[in-house]
Amino acid sequence: MHEDNYVLPMVDISKLSSPNLADRLDVAKALDQACKEVGFLYIKGDQFNPQLFTQIQHIAKAYFAQEEKLKMQHYIGLSENHSGYVPIGEEQFASNTYDLKEAYDVNYDYPLSTPRRPLLGPTLWPDFPEFQTQVLAYYQHVKTVGHQIFQGFALALGLSEDFFTPHLQHPPSQLRLIHYPYNPAAEDSVGIGAHTDYECFTLLLPTAPGLQVLNKQGEWIDIPLIENSMVMNIGDMMEILSNGRYLATKHRVKRVQEERYSFPLFFSCDYDYVIAPVMPNEAPKYQPLKGGDHLFNQTAQTFSYLKQRIAKGELTLNNAIPLSSFGLAEQQ
């Protein structure tokens, strides 16, 4: 695919590593334009380690090929920090439907006993050779790239470059290893239903087509694979932080035509950081919310094991807002 024909903008983030502020500002300007106009984009950069991209695909294929009963030994409902195996049918974005996918979720691995929050705690790791080592290597690599992008956003929004740094000490930023099995009999099933991401932004490595994005004309467009790039999108929290300059973008995965894997890392600020508009000299258009609470509330409205705890009175959500409260349609 020729660069001029990309469905989404392509931003080269290589110069975010430059010691020259002017170089970093160039990237910030490109990020700003892509996020303001579309909210979804491709990124490429010298920072990427293709070997780690290949390794996580291999370990995911090997892990998900196991029998269901083995994978369920590390079911996410057994964890302390919402990590572990997610079976098909566990997640529901809409009533009476479920997504045709399975996943392994790796949340922030927080060994300390205090302060504890619903998404902070020790990660539940499977007893599977090399899984923890290779997944953590990928997590740390993409996290480093994501923190550079936070600095780019700070510049784009007219803030000091290190504005977000103090708020990225223990963020519940989650990595998901997702497997979409090919099932020709599942005519009406979708891989994942239409939604916005809850966090600030997402960096996604997909292995096959299937992702669709809702554009500003209200049309679902297919997002092709581009080698040596990642897909990036704006989430709910960055919509608030930017005071609506960037809108969270609805997306979905249609019924896949081949087996598909994807690896999104969802970037949050620290659990107790209050998400509120940070734009200089602008009247706020959004009410502030505690980032971690929003993330947990949205998660609890989609996962069966958390819904069951709510129904039993074991869990109460505070100040929860409905799913899909952000994005273009909602702000119109």
Q: DSSP states of 112-130 as a string? A: -SSS-BTTBB-----S-TT
Name 192's Cβ contacts closer than 8 Å, sequence gap at least 6: 91, 93, 99, 101, 178, 252, 253
Quick check: 213 and 223 in contact, CB under 8 A?
yes
Per DSSP, the three-state class of 167 is helix
What residues contact 225, with CB distance under 8 A and at least 6 apart? 206, 207, 208, 209
CB 71 within 8 A of CB 87: yes
**Does pLDDT of 261 surpass 60?**
yes
Among left, alpha and beta (phi > 0; psi -120 to 50; other), residue 87 is: beta
Please state the pTM of the whole predicted model.
0.91
| Collapsed DSSP state (helix, strand, coil) of residue 150 | helix
Q: Rounded to whole angstroms, how far apart are CA atoms 252 and 192?
A: 5
Of residues 97 and 267, which shows the higher confidence score?
267
Domain ranges of the chain: 3-331
* pLDDT over 50 (residue 1): no
Contact of 43 with 11, CB cutoff 8 Å: yes
Helical segments of 233-319, H only: 236-241, 291-300, 304-311
Positive or negative torsion for Cα 330, 36, 250, 214: positive
Task: Give me the mean pLDDT over the 85-93 stretch.
Answer: 86
> Two tokens at 168?
């990225």
* Amino acid at the residue 327: G
Residue 191 reports pLDDT greater than 60? no
Least confident of 160-174, 229-243, 313-327: 313-327
**Burial group, residue 322, by CB count within 10 angstroms (0-12, 13-18, 19+):** exposed
Q: What percent of the chain has pLDDT over 90?
A: 58
CA-wise closest residue to 134 among 207, 63, 37: 63
Give the tens place of pLDDT for each residue, 301-332.
889 899 898 889 888 887 777 766 676 554 44
> Given a cut of 90, is residue 178 above it in pLDDT?
yes
The H or E element containing residue 202 is strand 201-206
The CATH classification number of 3-331 equals 2.60.120.330
